[in-house]
Structures are given as structure tokens and as C-alpha cells.
Amino acid sequence: MSKPRVILKIKGNSFRNLLFFLLVYMVGSPFLEPYPSMAMGAHGSLTVALFLAIYTVQKQQVQRNVVVILLFPLLILYWLGVYDIIEFTLTGAYLFLVIYLGLLIYSYVFQISHAHKVTIKVLYAAFCLYLMIGLFWGAAYALLNQLLPGSYGGVLLENNGSQSIHTFNYFSMVTLTTLGYGDITPQTAGAGALCQMEAIVGQFFSAVLVAWLVSDLMADKQESHKRTAKDTTNGGN
């Protein structure tokens, strides 16, 4: 016998709230980073987004407890690395961030694929998933560059003199969407391998997930029309 399909319903406004702060972070951080007195705002917005992400993982999922446990050492290492208090804390923070975002991505894929029907909350979740994929690879690029300095180069890194997580998040989103501006480029085979994998995932997301959401939405509309027609027929009788 085949197992019954698990049906989940995305509740509350957790994904909408997370989406708002993710966009604030990704759009605002590049403007704040050049000014030391305001750069803390960029790191603060990322901290808020990472905290709010806890509430997007459903309580019945095992990942909920894991992300809660991971968040505290992640934030401690991240802020220690921001102030450069202890050596290698930023490397540890990026490692924890990769694991943390990976668990969130897994949770979001599970929730979206088991949703009862396509709703605005499911669309919020899909958008958050897309941005989390970009942040995941951004953290992976930053981690690789910490472990192997010089893995990435280009005009943007040279002009700004900054190799922060915000810069690599930008590079990640450019790679995910396959824009390829060329202002940051991989300088090693390993760095190039990460880039090509992200480009593949970006194409897969657009081709498969978006197509699935649209087809599911159309199926819901057709089912609604059938029920309406049936009710009309029964009412006429």
C-alpha cells in the first residue's frame, strides 16, 4: 500500500515577515556597509532575519529544534567576527551559517511540496526559499574565501577593498540568476565548481518549482470551477 500524502498548511505570517526583513537586508546592506557608523545596521538586519527564520520552520519538524540550537553559536561567532575580537570566529560563523541556511532550505522545500494548495503564503514561502538559496551560496563563497584567500577576485572586490558576506551575497544572486556581470569571478577550480552548481540550481528552481506552483494553481482553479458548475447543476435540479 502506498503511504498517504502528508498535507501541510502554512499558517501565520512568518514567511511574509521574513521576506520583508530579507529584502531590507539584501537591498539596504550595500548602502550601509561603506559607512562604519551605519554598517552595524546591515549586520543587525541579517541577525533579525536569521532570528525570524526560526518561526518559518513548523514546530512538528525536527529541524525546528536544530535551527534554534544552531542560531545562538552562529550569532555569537558572527558578531565576534564582525568586531574581529577572536581569530577565526568569522570562519566559524560562515560555517554555521551554511549549515543553518541549508536546514532552512530543506524545511522550506518540504513545506512547499506538501502544501495543501497554492496560496499567497505558499508564494511567500517560495520567494523566501529563493532568497535563502542565494544567501546559502553567498555564505559558502565567503567561507571558501576565508579558508582559501584569493578564491574570488574582480573589480568589485578590488575597488571596495571589502570581502564581506554582503559582497558575496550580491555575487551569489548574480550567479543564481545567471546574469554574470563579471565584476566578481572565481579564481580557482573549486570556486568555479560552486558557481556552476548554483547556476544549475537557479535554473532548476525557475524551470521546476515555478512551473509546479503554476500548474498546481491552475489545477485548483479548475477544481473550483467544477465544484461551482456542479453546485449550479444540483441547485437547478
Share of the chain above pLDDT 90, in %: 50
CA–CA gap between residue 123 and residue 131 (Å, rounded): 13
Q: Express each pLDDT in 72-109 by its tens digit.
A: 999 999 999 888 888 889 999 999 999 999 999 999 99
Average pLDDT over residues 30-34: 82
Q: Are 116 and 220 in contact (CB under 8 A)?
A: no
* Residue from 115, 134, 136 nearest 212 by CA: 115
Q: Per-residue confidence at 1, pLDDT binned at 50, 70, 90?
A: very low
Tell me how many degrees the CA angle 136-138-140 measures, rounded to the nearest 5: 70
> How high is the mean pLDDT of the chain?
85
Average pLDDT over residues 7-17: 79
Q: Express each pLDDT in 101-157 by its tens digit.
A: 999 999 999 998 888 777 888 889 999 999 999 999 999 999 999 999 999 998 888
Q: Per-residue confidence at 233, pLDDT binned at 50, 70, 90?
A: low
Q: Express each pLDDT in 164-190 by its tens digit.
A: 888 899 999 999 998 888 899 999 999
- Range of weakest confidence among 31-35, 68-72, 116-120, 160-164: 160-164
CA–CA gap between residue 183 and residue 76 (Å, rounded): 32
Three-state secondary structure readout of 128-185 = HHHHHHHHHHHHHHHHHHHHCCCCEECHHHHHHCCCCHHHHHHHHHHHHCCCCCCCCE
Q: Which helix (H) or strand (E) holds 188?
A: none
Q: Count Cβ atoms below 10 Å from residue 58 Cβ, excluding itself.
A: 16
CA–CA gap between residue 94 and residue 143 (Å, rounded): 5
